[in-house]
């Protein structure tokens, strides 16, 4: 033991040492009953090391020993991550439940990968090959993917392959290759490797400009406020506006290889829903269980707060690791506000000078650094992988003028702002079409999107005016614009998450429906009066809604489409014809 | 080997700092002063200095008094004997009866492993149509009632306590008026549930530190009953008082406040408690219903705001009624699909029509002309408020659904309700033998 506790305050412990201390390294506080509590060095002052403890500090005493380590907080990477449910420190929760029962016990840690499971290894590299970090040495099948066993990503410089183990079944601890460094030193490689979570993992030739749309099958997102593979976006919204439901829908339907869900400081019940549902659901693209492409990091609100801070990084690192294999990964972080609050709690304990709303001054740079870990990269062999990050934000009082939302808006590529008014009116997804924006281009031509946005804006202006002058004071042209905006909102932007068909619209269908909606919107109707206008627009709204509910290319689908085409051609005929 | 420490260095607020060694964080202490003994809890260790928050308050504590550390965290005795008892925030009886004996259990224990939770699927019947029909309460849900000071939130809470079919009812009173405490007691006695109720009561006259202990005591005891397979209902009132107590202590500890003086960890502190609500996979369940008074009827105040982010929905109690707008039970979808086939249809239709009624009222108040449709809606609004929304209505879910049909039948043609035809045919009240076939005025916007 190379240090002793001198102070305890909440989850902050101050230890005194006469030895070496590494900033952000791990430490273990040893309780008098022998339990070792994992901690991280977060500040060094003279011989004092401030530690944030990832567990409840109950029972720690002044004078208790502290074990300072050299390594930083890391996760283990290797085959077997997919389908796992971890806490913020990569302890597998089901295994913890088996070992300690209903409750989480402080000081119980389990290795993130199964050490018993063996994997079907096929070598790729040959003796004599010269390799760099990240180059594949072999591969194992993991679910639907080929999991590459790479030269450990943290290794620097060139290595020569001395030996590769023959094809066969091995566990993650067994040696699968021996590499020799430039200095002639031989190092063994296993299927697992560690990576410090707070360092971005990116071993690539270069970073690419992300352009390929990430289809989430949520119409308002894909068509109006698109996200691209390797991009970033945020979903701020007041409570009850449907942030989590939107994330769940995305996790389910997004056209992407792997989804990492980071449930950070949110309700345990929501995670249970995912845990119970996902194994039952099949991924329509592969026919396999959705769980096989999902990793869940669950650090719910009741779990220790320092681990909550770490959980976001843990999730990001796992996502980056699969990106190194040329896969497309989506990280959904719910909610980044809880993560920011964890930083605030700690900063308060450290008695740092507070910034706005008592958040630490480094809040914005931390948020920026987190989102910057997203990106599309070109690997050394030309393959492309991407990590997309979508974070929810839970602003206090639903007011976006607060540090976390503002700090996030500066660095993301798309903003899906949820509005209380829309969720109250049961217009789901409650993404506000007037306030939201995206810097990416998606599956619909940007000029069409702009035209639709103008329509929505105009419609909203007319609606506002109508609350003052009444329907009778509004011209029929303005009134029609308002109805058209409502029509677009009702049958395109809104989507019923509980309907099997309507819940997810593939890109092709979106383009087609969008073009039909645009046809209606661009038709010059000649309504005789407002009653007729309303009746006709209700009629076409109803047609589109039913069309949305019909399975693609079913008879029903074609029938509704026929009726819509009839409606349009009728409306486009000149008066009296 | 009991050691006493008598070097008290500082007394500020309810926090006393004493020089001591060998003390564990979160440990319990007893402080002896001229005015008697009080429990205290360690909240900070710094070298030799140990800060404890004194449950009975620091009034009358002198710098020559003695502190003894108990080498254990706060505990509460757990046994069947707790049923029917009233305790205070230190776990002592406040009903004049003897100390409760039983296995001592720690409070504020680690959270449950999420993988040991099951999906909640049992509805809790309360007899209040605005809850049962429109926002069903589900076993293991955590749900607050948002209201302002003058509303009858404690009455509603007591009523749910009486009518909900729970095996153990635990009431946690924080900053209660003594009258409210007596009212709860009377209600429980009158309802015949006192024998399966436990009350942890902190009144406004009691020391503020004890207020902080109330939720943990309730939840620790409730959790044990749930582990034994019981269905437990915990009623907490008022969580705003709890948050204010947190604020008081954190300011004394010189923590930097984040929002309106509340500590930065307000969310975490409340979440740790609310998250104890659980349906154990292989044991019982614990449901938490809490009152949160909103200072100034402001839902963006830190306490209701943070609560809303933690809990699974919220009820707004306003004007003596549970508001249909804004109130939300996030778990209702888990249960309302299998009560009766018309439950969801009624739930949607009645609220949509009531929303339209509100628009018509606005129109009327602005002096715009009323159409026939408006008049129908206005009539509907009045009936709906009288027969369904009124808090004195106390009927079973099925009766409430029937009553909704009755109201719809009195005010509208079937097609105007926007309810699916198959359900109308089955449930529409039959005045002259058969449902009225059709009519075509402006329909309510169907299927939002």
Cα separation, A319 vs A490, whole angstroms = 36
Supply B196's token pair: 């399966």
Say yes or no: A101 contacts chain B, CB-CB below 8 A: yes
> Which residue does chain B place closest to A57, by CA atoms?
B25
Residues 210-229 of B with CB under 8 A from A: 227
CA B98 to chain centre: 29
Amino acid A538: pLDDT: 84
Chain A 391-430, residues with CB within 8 Å of chain B CB atoms: 394, 396-399, 424-427
pTM of the model: 0.91
Distance from CA of B34 to the nearest CA of A (A): 29
Judged by CB atoms closer than 8 Å, whether chains meet at B448 and A426 is answered as yes
Q: Can you give the pLDDT at residue B435? A: 46
Does the CB of B23 have a partner CB in chain A at under 8 Å? yes
Nearest chain B residue to A534 by CA distance is: B442
Q: Is the pLDDT of residue B114 over 70?
A: yes
- Res. B437: pLDDT tops 60: no
Pairing of strands B197-203, B168-176: parallel
Surface of A (171-190) touching B: CB under 8 A: none
pLDDT given at position A75: 96
- The answer to whether A243 faces chain B, any CB pair under 8 Å, is no
Give the residue from B19, B25, B73 with the most A CB atoms within 10 Å of its CB, the best one to mutate: B25
Note the pLDDT of residue B447. 39
Tell me how close the Cα of A445 comes to any Cα of chain B, in angstroms.
29
Contact B271 A397 (CB under 8 A): no
pLDDT in the model for residue B432: 53
Q: A516 vs chain B: nearest CA distance in angstroms? A: 21
- Set of chain A residues whose Cβ sits within 8 Å of the Cβ of B111: 103-104, 268, 300, 302-303
> Closest-CA residue in chain B for A499?
B447
Q: Among residues A222, A299, A293, which one has the least CA distance to residue A265?
A: A299
Pairing of strands B231-237, B168-176: parallel
Question: Is the minimum CB–CB distance between B371 and chain A shorter than 8 Å?
Answer: no
State residue B1's pLDDT score. Answer: 52
Tell whether A83 is within 8 A of chain B (Cβ).
Answer: no
Contacts with A349 from chain B: Cβ below 8 Å: 255
Q: What is the dihedral of CA B432, B436, B439, B445, to 10 degrees?
A: 120
- Is the per-residue pLDDT at B255 higher than 60? yes
With b for 16 or more beta-carbon neighbours within 10 A and e for fewer, the A530-540 pattern comes to beebbebbbeb
User: Would strands A25-30 and A36-45 be described as parallel, antiparallel, or unpaired?
Assistant: antiparallel
- Sequence-distant (6+) residues with CB within 8 A of A461 are none
Pick among B270, B277, B309, B365 to test the A interface (most A CBs inside 10 A): B309
Q: Do the Cβ atoms of B111 and A268 come within 8 Å?
A: yes
Nearest to B271 among A60, A103, A301 (CB): A301
Give me the residues paired with residue B117 across strands: B280
What tokens appear for B24 in the block? 């564990």
Mean pLDDT of the region B197-217: 94
- Indicate if the alpha-carbon torsion angle A67, A72, A75, A78 is positive or negative: negative
Beta strands A3-9; A12-17: pairing state: antiparallel
The ipTM assigned to this model is 0.87
Question: Is B119 close to A273, i.e. CB distance below 8 A?
Answer: yes
Interface of B with A in 122-161 (CB under 8 A): 140
Q: Quick check: A59 contacting B, CB < 8 Å?
A: yes
B273: helix, strand or coil: helix
Taking 50 as the threshold, does the pLDDT of residue B354 lie above it? yes
Average of per-residue pLDDT across B331-353: 90
Contact between B128 and B160 under an 8 Å Cβ cutoff? The reply is yes
Give the minimum alpha-carbon distance from B131 to chain A in angstroms, rounded to a whole number. 17
Do residue B264 and residue A348 have CB atoms under 8 angstroms apart? Answer: yes
Contact A355, A372 (CB under 8 A): no
> Does B205 touch chain A if contact means CB atoms closer than 8 Å?
no
**Which of A10, A97, A470 minimises the CB distance to B368?**
A470
Name the residue among A5, A103, A268 with its Cβ closest to that of B109.
A103
CB A88 within 8 A of CB A307: yes
- Give me the half-sphere count of Cα atoms (radius 13 Å) on the Cβ side of residue A152: 20
**For residue B53, which phi and psi values (nearest 5 degrees)?**
-95, 130
Comparing CB atoms, the residue among A96, A302, A358 nearest residue B275 is: A302
Q: Which of B161, B291, B329 is nearest to B232 (CA)?
A: B161
Whether B58 shows a pLDDT value over 50: the answer reads yes
Q: Is the dihedral of CA B18, B21, B26, B31 positive or negative?
A: negative
List A13's β-bridge partners, or say none. Answer: A8, A51
Residue to mutate among B114, B347, B360, with most A CBs inside 10 A, is B114
The reply to whether A94 touches chain B by the CB within 8 Å rule is yes
Buried b vs exposed e over B256-289: b needs ≥16 C-beta within 10 Å?
bbbbeebbbbbbbbbbbbbbbbbbbeebbbbbbb
Of the candidates A6, A103, A424, the beta carbon closest to that of B112 is on A103
Please check whether residue B135 is in contact with residue B329, taking contact to mean a CB–CB distance below 8 angstroms.
Answer: yes
Residue B368 in contact with partner chain A when CB distance is under 8 A:
yes
Answer yes or no: do B275 and A60 touch at CB < 8 A: no
Res B436 pLDDT > 50: no
The pLDDT tens digits of the residues spanning B160-170 come to 999 888 999 99
Which one of A302, A349, A399 has the shortest CB-CB distance to B300? A399
Residue A244, Ramachandran bin (φ over 0: left; ψ between -120 and 50: alpha; else beta): alpha
User: Are A97 and B256 a contacting pair at CB < 8 A?
Assistant: no
Cα-based distances in Å from A196 to A52, A74, A328:
17, 4, 22
DSSP A397: G
Cross-chain Cβ contact B300/A470 below 8 Å: no
Mean pLDDT of chain B: 90
Residue of B nearest to A96 (CA): B113
pLDDT per 10-residue tile (average), chain A, 577 residues: 90 93 94 94 94 93 94 95 95 94 93 96 95 95 94 95 95 96 93 95 95 96 96 93 89 94 90 87 84 94 90 97 97 94 88 89 96 96 96 90 95 95 84 96 93 96 87 89 94 87 93 95 90 88 90 94 94 67
Phi-psi region of A460 (alpha: psi -120 to 50; beta: other; left: phi over 0): alpha
Q: What's the confidence (pLDDT) of residue B140? A: 94
Is the pLDDT at B205 greater than 60? The verdict is: yes
Give contacts of B108 with chain A, Cβ < 8 Å.
58
Contact A93 B272 (CB under 8 A): no
pLDDT on residue A213: 96
Contact A351 B256 (CB under 8 A): yes
Chain B segment 275-294 residues within 8 A of A by beta carbon are 275-276, 278, 280, 283
Question: Do the chains contact at B47 and A303, CB–CB below 8 Å?
Answer: no
**Which residues on A lie below 8 Å from B45 (Cβ)?**
5, 7-9, 60-62
**In angstroms, rounded to a whole number, what is the distance separating the alpha carbons of residues A212 and A207?**
14
3-class secondary-structure state, position A313: helix
B189: Cβ contacts below 8 Å, ≥ 6 apart:
none
Give the separation between CA A195 and CA A366, rounded to whole angstroms.
19
């Amino acid at each position: 033991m190379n240090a002793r506790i001198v102070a305890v305050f909440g989850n902050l412990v101050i230890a005194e040492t006469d030895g070496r201390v590494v900033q952000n390294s791990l430490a273990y506080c040893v309780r008098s009953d022998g339990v070792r509590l994992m901690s991280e060095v977060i500040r060094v002052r003279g011989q004092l090391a401030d530690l944030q403890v990832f567990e409840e500090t109950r029972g720690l005493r002044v004078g208790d020993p502290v074990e300072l380590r050299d390594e930083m907080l890391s996760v283990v990477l290797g085959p077997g991550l997919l389908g796992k449910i971890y806490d913020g420190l990569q302890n597998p929760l089901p295994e913890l439940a088996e070992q300690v029962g209903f409750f989480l016990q402080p000081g119980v840690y389990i290795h993130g990968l199964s050490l018993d499971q063996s994997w079907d290894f096929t070598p790729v590299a040959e003796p004599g090959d010269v390799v760099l970090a990240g180059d594949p040495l072999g591969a194992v099948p993991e679910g639907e993917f080929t999991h590459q066993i790479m030269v450990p990503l943290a290794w620097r410089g060139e290595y020569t392959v001395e030996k590769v183990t023959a094809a066969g079944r091995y566990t993650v601890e067994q040696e699968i290759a021996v590499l020799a460094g430039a200095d002639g030193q031989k190092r063994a490689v296993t299927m697992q490797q560690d990576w410090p979570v707070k360092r971005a993992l990116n071993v690539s030739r270069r970073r690419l400009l992300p352009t390929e749309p990430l289809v989430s099958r949520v119409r308002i997102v894909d068509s109006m406020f698109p996200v691209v593979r390797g991009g970033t976006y945020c979903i701020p919204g007041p409570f009850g506006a449907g942030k989590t439901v939107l994330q769940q829908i995305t996790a389910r339907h997004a056209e992407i290889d792997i989804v990492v869900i980071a449930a950070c400081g949110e309700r345990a019940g929501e995670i249970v829903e995912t845990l119970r549902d996902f194994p039952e659901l099949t991924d329509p693209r592969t026919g396999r269980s959705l769980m096989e492409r999902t990793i869940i990091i669950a650090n719910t609100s009741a779990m220790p707060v320092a681990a909550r801070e770490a959980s976001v990084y843990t999730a990001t690192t796992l996502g980056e690791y699969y990106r190194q294999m040329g896969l497309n990964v989506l990280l959904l972080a719910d909610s980044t506000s809880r993560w920011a609050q964890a930083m605030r709690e700690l900063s308060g304990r450290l008695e740092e000078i507070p910034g706005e709303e008592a958040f630490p001054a480094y809040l914005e740079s931390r948020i920026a650094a987190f989102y910057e870990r997203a990106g599309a990269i070109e690997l050394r062999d030309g393959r492309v992988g991407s990590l997309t990050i979508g974070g929810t934000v839970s602003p206090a009082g639903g007011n976006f003028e607060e540090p976390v939302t503002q700090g996030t808006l500066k660095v993301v590529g798309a903003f899906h702002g949820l509005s209380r008014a829309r969720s109250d009116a049961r217009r789901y997804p409650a993404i506000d079409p007037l306030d939201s924006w995206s810097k990416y281009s998606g599956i619909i031509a940007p000029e069409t999107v702009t035209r639709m946005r103008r329509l929505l804006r105009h419609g909203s202006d007319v609606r506002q005016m109508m609350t003052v002058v009444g329907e009778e004071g509004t011209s029929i042209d303005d009134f029609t614009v308002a109805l058209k905006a409502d029509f677009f909102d009702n049958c395109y932007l809104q989507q019923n998450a509980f309907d099997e068909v309507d819940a997810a619209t593939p890109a092709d269908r979106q383009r087609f429906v969008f073009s039909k909606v645009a046809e209606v919107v661009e038709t010059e109707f000649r309504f005789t009066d407002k009653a007729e206008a309303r009746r006709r627009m209700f009629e076409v709204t109803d047609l589109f809604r039913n069309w949305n509910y019909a399975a693609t290319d079913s008879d029903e689908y074609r029938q509704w489409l026929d009726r819509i085409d009839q409606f349009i051609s009728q409306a486009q005929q000149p008066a009296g014809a | 080997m009991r050691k006493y420490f008598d070097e008290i260095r500082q007394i500020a607020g309810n926090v006393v700092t004493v020089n001591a060694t060998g003390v564990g964080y979160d440990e319990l202490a007893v402080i002896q002063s001229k005015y008697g003994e009080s429990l205290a809890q360690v909240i900070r260790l710094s070298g030799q200095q140990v800060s404890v928050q004194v449950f009975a308050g620091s009034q009358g504590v002198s710098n020559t008094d003695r502190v003894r550390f108990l080498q254990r965290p706060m505990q509460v005795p757990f046994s069947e004997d707790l049923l029917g008892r009233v305790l205070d925030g230190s776990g002592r009886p406040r009903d004049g009866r003897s100390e409760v004996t039983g296995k001592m259990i720690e409070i504020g224990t680690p959270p449950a492993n999420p993988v040991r939770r099951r999906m909640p699927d049992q509805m809790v019947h309360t007899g209040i149509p605005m809850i049962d029909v429109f926002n069903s309460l589900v076993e293991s849900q955590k749900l607050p009632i948002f209201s302002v000071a003058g509303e009858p939130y404690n009455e509603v809470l007591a009523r749910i306590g009486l009518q909900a079919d729970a095996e153990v009812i635990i009431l946690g009173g924080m900053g209660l008026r003594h009258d409210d405490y007596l009212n709860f007691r009377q209600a429980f006695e009158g309802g015949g549930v006192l024998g399966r109720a436990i009350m942890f009561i902190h009144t406004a006259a009691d020391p503020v530190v004890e207020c902080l202990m109330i939720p943990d005591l309730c939840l620790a005891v409730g959790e044990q009953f749930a582990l034994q397979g019981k269905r437990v209902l915990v009623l907490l009132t008022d969580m705003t008082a709890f948050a204010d107590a947190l604020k008081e202590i954190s300011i004394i500890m010189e923590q930097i406040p984040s929002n309106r003086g509340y500590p930065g960890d307000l969310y975490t502190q409340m979440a740790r408690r609310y998250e104890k609500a659980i349906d154990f996979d292989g044991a019982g369940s614990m449901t938490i219903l809490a009152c949160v008074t909103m200072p100034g009827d402001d839902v963006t105040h830190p306490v209701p705001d943070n609560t809303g982010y933690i809990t699974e929905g919220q009820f707004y109690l306003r004007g003596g009624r549970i508001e249909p707008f804004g109130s939300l039970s996030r778990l209702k979808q888990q249960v309302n699909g299998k009560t009766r086939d018309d439950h969801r249809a009624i739930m949607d239709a009645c609220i949509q029509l009531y929303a339209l009624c509100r628009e018509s009222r606005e129109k009327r108040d602005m002096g715009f002309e009323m159409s026939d449709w408006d008049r129908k809606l206005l009539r509907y609004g009045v009936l709906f408020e009288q027969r369904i929304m009124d808090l004195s209505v106390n009927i079973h879910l099925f009766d409430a659904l029937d009553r909704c049909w009755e109201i719809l039948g009195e005010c509208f043609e079937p097609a105007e309700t926007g309810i699916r035809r198959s359900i109308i045919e089955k449930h529409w009240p039959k005045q002259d033998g058969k449902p009225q076939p059709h009519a075509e005025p402006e329909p309510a916007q169907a299927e939002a």
